[in-house]
Amino acid sequence: MRSIKAIATLVLCALIVCGCFGGGASVKTTTTTVSVGQQLIDLQNAYQSGSMTQDQYQKAKKQLIQRTLDN
C-alpha cells in the first residue's frame, strides 16, 4: 500500500512539473516596419523639438542612410 502511494505521488509530481514547463503557451510576434522616409521625418522632428542635438541628428541621419545603401 505504501509503495502504491509513493508511486502515485511520484507520478503526480511528474505531471505537475511537466504541466509547468510545457504546452499551452502561445507566443505571438508582431513586426512593424517603418519606412526610411518615416524614420528621417522622426529624426527631423526629434531634432526640431530639441530632443537631440544637431550633431546627434546628423550622425543618426548619416547612419540611417548608410544602412539603407548597404541593404
Task: Return the domain boundaries, the chain.
Answer: 33-71
Per-residue pLDDT at 15: 59
- With a threshold of 0.75, does the pTM exceed it? no
Per-residue pLDDT at 27: 80
Q: Cell digits for 62?
A: 548619416
DSSP output for 38-64: HHHHHHHHHHHTTSS-HHHHHHHHHHH
Per-residue pLDDT at 8: 64
Sign of CA dihedral 47, 49, 50, 51: negative
Instruction: Indicate if the pLDDT at residue 71 is higher than 60.
Output: yes
Q: Convert the pLDDT of each residue in 20-60 to its tens digit.
A: 555 666 788 888 888 999 999 999 999 999 999 999 999 99
